[in-house]
């Protein structure tokens, strides 16, 4: 009689253990899903060298980041103000690049934000054509293409949740044939500014001979 009770209890105990193990295993699999809530951290200007050293060998691609989102239809000028509010100053702007020996007009950007997602995945965003277009240009690591749509959705949500635009003040040079001009692009006191200007003091002349290269 005692033997029967022990066996019954043993079988019941074994079932309970199996159920418990299955529960414990299933919870971490869900909780550790790397893109259940992507964490997007901006790379600061002072961290550029470390970022380049860490991710210098990756293959950059826009694949996975161009699934249409609401922010793709917002003027880039407004997105710049939203980015300023959400992430602070850009990782680099035109004035940080123009003094490079091999700088060319075709490399002109208004701003670039570099990010590290979940402490391991690099991403970059920059303006499409300064203040003259909508949306942003995206770049990510090719080996993480499958994860990029979720990153884009989270990034888009972050910018859309900004309820107060932040001030910014940038320079932009347009190498387009119908412009070939400097612009001051800003948001201050609740108003956007997109004004053609003379070359800013302290920035070198751009070599127009390299414009087509």
pLDDT of 72 over the 50 cut:
yes
Predicted confidence (pLDDT) per residue in 129-188, tens digit: 999 999 999 999 999 999 999 999 999 999 999 999 999 999 999 888 677 889 999 999
Q: Where are the domains of the chain?
A: 40-166
**Residue 57: per-residue pLDDT:** 93
pTM: 0.79
pLDDT of 21 over the 50 cut:
no
Contacts of 182 (CB under 8 A, 6+ apart): 171, 172, 173, 196, 197, 198, 199, 200
**Main-chain dihedrals φ then ψ at residue 98, nearest 5 degrees:** -65, -20
Q: What is the DSSP letter of 157?
A: H
Distances (CA, A) of 10 to 1, 19, 20, 139, 171: 14, 14, 15, 58, 76
What is the H or E stretch that residue 197 is in? strand 191-197
Burial class (CB in 10 A: 0-12, 13-18, 19+), 119: exposed
**Residue 2: per-residue pLDDT:** 43
């Amino acid at each position: 009689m005692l033997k029967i009770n022990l066996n019954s209890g043993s079988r019941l105990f074994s079932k309970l253990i199996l159920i418990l193990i299955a529960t414990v295993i299933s919870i971490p699999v869900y909780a550790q899903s790397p893109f259940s809530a992507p964490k997007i951290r901006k790379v600061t200007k002072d961290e550029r060298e470390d970022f380049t050293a860490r991710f210098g060998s990756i293959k950059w691609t826009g694949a996975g980041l161009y699934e249409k989102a609401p922010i793709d239809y917002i003027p880039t000028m407004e997105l710049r103000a939203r980015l300023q509010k959400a992430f602070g100053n850009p990782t680099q702007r035109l004035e940080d690049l123009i003094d490079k020996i091999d700088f060319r007009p075709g490399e002109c950007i208004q701003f670039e934000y570099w990010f590290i997602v979940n402490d391991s995945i690099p991403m970059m965003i920059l303006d499409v054509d300064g203040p003259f277009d909508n949306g942003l240009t995206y770049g990510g690591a090719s080996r993480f293409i499958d994860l990029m749509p979720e990153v884009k959705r989270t990034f888009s949500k972050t910018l859309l949740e900004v309820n107060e635009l932040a001030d910014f003040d940038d320079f932009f040079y347009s190498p387009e044939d119908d412009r070939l001009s400097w612009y001051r692009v800003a948001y201050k006191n609740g108003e956007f500014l997109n004004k053609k200007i003379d070359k800013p003091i302290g920035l070198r002349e751009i070599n127009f001979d390299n414009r087509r290269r």
